[in-house]
Amino acid sequence: MAKRGRKKKSEVDVVTSTVEAVLASVGGDISSLSTGAAAQPKVFLDTGNYALNWCLSGKPLTGGVAGGMVVEIFGPNATGKSRIIYQIIASAHKRGGYGILDDTENAYSPSFGTGLGIDNNRLFTLGSVTVEEHSLAIQKLVPELRAKIGLELPIVVALDSLATLSTEHELDKGFNAEDMGRKAKQIKKAIRLLVPMLRHDPNLYYIVANHVIANIGVYGSGKITPGGSGFPFQSAVRVELKVDGKLKMSDKEVVLIKTMPKEDDQIIGTRVRAYVRKNKIVSPFRLCFFSMKFRGDWMELDKTTGLQGILLPSGIVERAAKGWVKLKGTDRKFRLSDVATDEELRNLILSILEENGEADITIGGQEDESGDE
């Protein structure tokens, strides 16, 4: 048996070296699933919310967005697309990495970013006007930056947003330019040029924010994302965000309202519905809710809203009292908000999740996420 195993391994080595030689002669490359870049474990960056992490990676406490692939976050205005992107950049900075933000909407505030944990000294902001300009800048910047900092540190490339990019043709011809389909073709070309970099760099993250617009005169929902139908195919992960309701303070409690706020309502934030429409890391079509609350001049992304809908159905925790849970089989009671601040508790839950298999957790109901859990 041992000889047969050695013979098989030798045969694979011979075949692999032959294929590599052939591809090298035509300018291609090969990545072995056992030893190449594809064999490296996925490196995740925290999104700022445990439930959203779980939806994207199957790992609520240690997951998030994966490197080496295209991630699209889309939805109507004021749903937290930019907020999540900024949090991902801040997560990269915590690991000593860098961020490249192509702020095509000219909306980034350095003071706002600082409040979220962004190190503005490690963030390079661009203001691309066209798809071609954005593509060329990324193709030049990323290799230069990677050569300076090495392969171990994360680099986040964020485009906020795709919808506001123009094309060289549109700029040349002016306001009345007929540009139907040209932008979509340029976007597809830009992604095709970006994919080789992502394939060989698991610590490179490409996050795109996109709008939702009306598609007049069609059946169905009539909602599409700008950039053509090709970009959803090129994205490995697609997350749709929608506002589920407003959070208001009522008698010292946070209440979720889904109607138009009254004049005297004290609105303190919003609850957002995140639905993963495409995912090549774990199973797609996962749903979660998270809260964003106003904190002075910036908006706080609540890390633990939505966590209850993951841990309760999994049997890891059970209800103890209103607003309290306890680890199953123990007397230890805690609020789920404590998971974000109590490292010992977080490590304990993490060890249980790893034993049970995080990606196998089935998400449950989340209708009670409006207040402090």
pLDDT in tens, 286-343: 999 999 998 877 788 999 999 988 888 888 888 888 889 998 878 889 999 999 999 9
Please give the structure tokens belonging to residue 299: 């908006």
- pLDDT exceeds cutoff 70 at 55: yes
Categorize the per-residue pLDDT at 358 as very low, low, confident or very high, splitting at 50, 70 and 90. low
Over residues 264-282, the pLDDT tens digits come to: 889 999 999 999 999 999 9
Categorize the per-residue pLDDT at 357 as very low, low, confident or very high, splitting at 50, 70 and 90. low
Distance CA 179, CA 106 (A): 23
Position with higher pLDDT, 216 vs 142? 142
Distance CA 4, CA 363 (A): 46
- Length of the chain counted residue by residue: 373
Helical spans, DSSP H, in the chain:
2-25, 50-57, 81-94, 110-116, 131-149, 168-173, 182-199, 230-234, 308-314, 343-356
Within 8 A by CB and 6+ apart from 290, the residues are 49, 51, 52, 271, 272, 274, 301, 302, 305, 306, 369
Categorize the per-residue pLDDT at 370 as very low, low, confident or very high, splitting at 50, 70 and 90. very low
Which of 30-44, 117-131, 288-302 has the largest mean confidence?
117-131
* Alpha-carbon torsion angle 276, 260, 109, 190, nearest 10: 40
* Alpha-carbon torsion angle 269, 273, 279, 285, nearest 10: 160
Over residues 179-208, the pLDDT tens digits come to: 668 889 999 999 999 999 999 999 999 999
- pLDDT exceeds cutoff 70 at 229: yes
- What is the structure's pLDDT at 364? 43
- What is the structure's pLDDT at 355? 77
- pLDDT exceeds cutoff 50 at 107: yes
- pLDDT exceeds cutoff 60 at 7: no
Q: How far is CA 48 from the centre of its chain?
A: 10
Distance CA 156, CA 168 (A): 26
Distance CA 60, CA 358 (A): 8
- What is the structure's pLDDT at 127? 96
Distance CA 236, CA 288 (A): 19
Please give the structure tokens belonging to residue 177: 């330019």
Residue 157 contacts residue 206 (beta carbons within 8 Å)? yes
For residues 28-41, average pLDDT: 56
Percent pLDDT > 70 in the chain is: 86
Categorize the per-residue pLDDT at 369 as very low, low, confident or very high, splitting at 50, 70 and 90. very low
- Domains in the chain, CATH or no CATH each: 70-235 (3.40.50.300)
Categorize the per-residue pLDDT at 368 as very low, low, confident or very high, splitting at 50, 70 and 90. very low
Categorize the per-residue pLDDT at 105 as very low, low, confident or very high, splitting at 50, 70 and 90. very high
Distance CA 152, CA 201 (A): 9
Instruction: Tell me 166's DSSP state.
Output: B
For residues 49-72, average pLDDT: 95
Position with higher pLDDT, 93 vs 323? 93
